[in-house]
Amino acid sequence: MTLQPFMPAGVIEKLPCVLAHTHRWCWVLVMASRECGVCLEQYDEGQHRPRCLSCGHTVCTSCLSNAITRNPASLTCPFCRVPQPRRVASVEDIPVNFTVLNLLQDTMHIAGTPRAQALLAEVKREANEFTTTHLVAYNCHILRLKDYQERLASKRRTQEEQVAVLETLLTQHKAILENLATTASRVTTVLTQGYDQREALKASQARINGATSLLQVTAAHEEDRTFSNSVEEWSKQAQQILQTQVVGEARELDRVTDAALQAVVDHNMAQVTEALAQTKPIIHHSPPGHPQVDFEYSSGVALLVSKICQMADMVGSTVWVVKEDDGRKRCARLTLTPHRLYLSALREGDPPRYSHVFPFDEVRGLVEESCLKVYLEMSWEGKAQGRVCIKLVNTVARTRLFFLLCTGEWGPSYLNTRLLEVESRGMPGERIWGGDYQNNDGSGGAALPGLTRGPLHSQSATAGLVAGFCYGDDHRKPAHFVIYTGDCPVVYEECPLGRVEEGLDIVQAAAALPDITAATITECGVVISL
């Protein structure tokens, strides 16, 4: 006789040891062999007595009786479908599986021994330890989740209240805006009527002054009387408009809204002010003639600036830097992308309202002077196509000129300049030209004071190379630059400035335009790595 086939062979080999020493395998064997695989009832000495078929599978007496009744001519195993070698007339013809019966009887005997009781206690202890560990984890997380649920509910209520207030405020703004538009339309209509009536009165007055007889004066005066009702009616309309409170209501609503929006900006900037106050600049050098301070900041300051950019984006605000020189105020936009800050070129004027503002030098100090990177944002067909990021390869005068015209630190910049031409279109060494910040047509582009050509460095022309203008004695175009879109190893550039790290596809797309002058540099600046 054999045990049921799903019992591992190794377990069967250990059976004597199991029965002799009450090892844990005993419980596995019992669980594996104590039930009929067909009806799942526990084996016993009665109707569910285990009987072994010729194939080795064990089935209870009741299930075999039912099988014989259904098909008395041929009995097959319900598990492997192997037929019995000879006809079975009665269930008594199938031998009893005494191995299973003995195992059950021995187990019942073993269960009552002290060692079995000890084993049972140990198994219970291990099981309890297992479940207790998981119960602790469940209880801990359930408590934390319940607390988090309460905080979510509280924050949700707060957000709902704030949304309700903001919606009310927005509704009031829309009502005021509609009222302002309606009132403005009424003012336009009344003003038009007033202009027409005033011109008619002027014409009547001219007729009176030009009259040469009493009859003419009387006739003109009688005609003037017809304007009395119109003048009175128009005056009433004008007075009604002047008495409306829409401007005052709008001013009051503006005051409330300004306070709310400014509070958001002030709250965010308070953190920055406190952190920057604890970060002292270290002056490295100040070039003669062009004072400039380089700042060495910890990485925490850069992360703080990026955090403010994230907070500003959440409330629909923007982040700007401001630079003031002798009463001249300029500003630049600060934009955050993953792992990078883009500081745009300085432009005249103040930043927009409700902006987060930093001093220019504090953000400029985050630029790593030993690894300068700039960018040019190209646009055409009324749409920004993306940024072209350029890593500068040296610090000669012409490279410094290109850098300063990207940042606008000394005044002019490449902002809003057109690309000028495509050279060698469709051929090896194809390249585009740009950089006329003066005339925007290729006829200008002088060097900034003190930034002459400097030493030359020959470099093979390959796709992505950025070079400066260094041909002939034309001193009007040192600010021009060229970007190669294709390789041409036989050509050497004597004034390499840098190399495109990202966005070469944008430059190539610009070179493919029918008219390259339709492409514009709508933004430029310096790249700050975080």
478-530 pLDDT, tens per residue?
899 999 999 987 888 888 999 999 999 999 999 999 999 999 999 999 998 87
Handedness of CA 44, 47, 49, 55 (dihedral sign): negative
DSSP letter assigned to residue 214: H
Mean of pLDDT values over 236-261: 80
Nearest-angstrom CA–CA distance, 208 and 211: 5
User: Which residue is associated with the tokens 């604890």?
Assistant: 278
Residues 145-171 have a mean pLDDT of 85
* Rounded alpha-carbon distances, angstroms, from residue 414 to 123, 189, 431, 523: 80, 46, 18, 8
Amino acid at 26: C
pLDDT at 264: 66
Pairwise CA distance, residues 446 & 413, whole Å: 12
Percentage of the chain surpassing pLDDT 70? Answer: 80
In which band, very low, low, confident or very high, does the pLDDT at 11 lie, cut at 50, 70 and 90?
A: very low
Architecture of the domain whose range is 9-111: 2-Layer Sandwich (3.30)
Alpha carbon dihedral 114, 116, 120, 126, in 10-degree steps, equals 100
Neighbours of 463 (CB within 10 A): 18
For domain 370-529, the question of CATH label 2.40.100.10 is answered with: yes
CA 289/CA 291 separation, integer angstroms: 6
Residue 391 has pLDDT above 90, yes or no: yes
Burial class of residue 78 (count of CB atoms within 10 Å of its CB; 0-12, 13-18, 19+) = middle
> How much is the average pLDDT of 404-424?
95
If you average pLDDT over every residue of the chain, what do you get? 80
Q: Which residue has the higher pLDDT, 237 or 106?
A: 237
CA distance 229 to 231: 5
Instruction: Report CA 398 to chain centroid distance, whole Å.
Output: 37
Look at residue 413 in the predicted model and tell me its pLDDT.
95
Rounded to 5°, the CA angle 103-105-108 comes to 105
Strand partners, 384: 379
Query: 280-315: per-residue pLDDT in tens?
Result: 443 333 344 433 433 344 455 566 666 667 666 665
The pLDDT of residue 285 is 38
CB 481 within 8 A of CB 469: yes
> Which conformational region is residue 281 in: left (phi greater than 0), alpha (psi within -120 to 50 degrees), or beta?
beta
Backbone phi, psi, residue 161, to 5° = -65, -45
Q: What are phi and psi of 523, to 5 degrees?
A: -160, 145
| Residue 373: band (very low, low, confident or very high) from pLDDT cuts 50, 70, 90 | very high
Q: Tell me the C-alpha distance between 347 and 86, whole Å.
A: 104
- Which neighbouring-strand residues pair with 472? none
- What are the structure tokens assigned to 14, written together? 């250990």
Distance, CA of 410 to CA of 291 (rounded, Å): 11
Mean pLDDT, range 363-391, rounded to an integer: 92
Beta bridge partners of 260: none
Looking at per-residue pLDDT, the higher value among 339 and 48 belongs to 48
Amino acid at residue number 55: C
Who wins on pLDDT, 231 or 303?
A: 231
Residue 71 identity (one-letter amino acid): N
Least confident of 121-130, 161-170, 263-272, 430-439: 263-272
HSE, side-chain direction, 13 A CA sphere, residue 347:
17
Structure tokens at 274: 């406190």
Average pLDDT over every residue of 132-158: 88
Query: Which pLDDT belongs to residue 311?
Result: 64
136 by Cβ neighbours in 10 Å (0-12 / 13-18 / 19+) ranks as exposed
Mean pLDDT of the 97-121 span: 74
pLDDT over 70 (residue 109): no
Domain-by-domain residue ranges, the chain?
Answer: 9-111, 121-243, 263-361, 370-529
pLDDT band at 420; cut points 50, 70, 90: very high
Please tell me the number of Cα atoms within 13 Å of 33 on its side-chain side: 31
Residue 376's nearest CA partner among 339, 333, 405, 351 is: 405
Other beta carbons within 10 Å of 409: 20
User: Region 316-322: what's the mean pLDDT?
Assistant: 82
387 touches 467 (CB < 8 A): no
Q: Which residue would you say has higher pLDDT here, 105 or 436?
A: 436
Q: Which of 41-55, 62-76, 214-228 has the lowest mean pLDDT?
A: 214-228
Give the tokens for residue 119: 């084993």
Average pLDDT (119-141) is 85
**Longest Cα pair distance anywhere in the chain, in angstroms?**
153
Q: Do 64 and 91 touch, CB atoms closer than 8 A?
A: yes
The SS3 call for residue 333 is: strand
Question: At 451, which helix (H) or strand (E)?
Answer: none
More confident site: 154 or 508? 508
pLDDT(267) > 80: no
> Which amino acid is it at 453?
R
pLDDT band at 63 (very low <50, low <70, confident <90, very high): very high
Q: What angle do CA 328, 326, 277 make, to 5 degrees?
A: 90
Question: Mean pLDDT throughout 173-181?
Answer: 87
Q: Name 500's bridge partners.
A: 390
The least confident of 5-14, 130-139, 441-450, 463-472 is: 5-14
Neighbours of 69 (CB within 10 A): 9
CA end-to-end span of the chain? 76
What confidence score (pLDDT) does residue 313 get?
A: 66
- 59 φ/ψ angles, rounded to the nearest 5 degrees: -140, 150
CB neighbourhood size of 448 (10 A)? 18
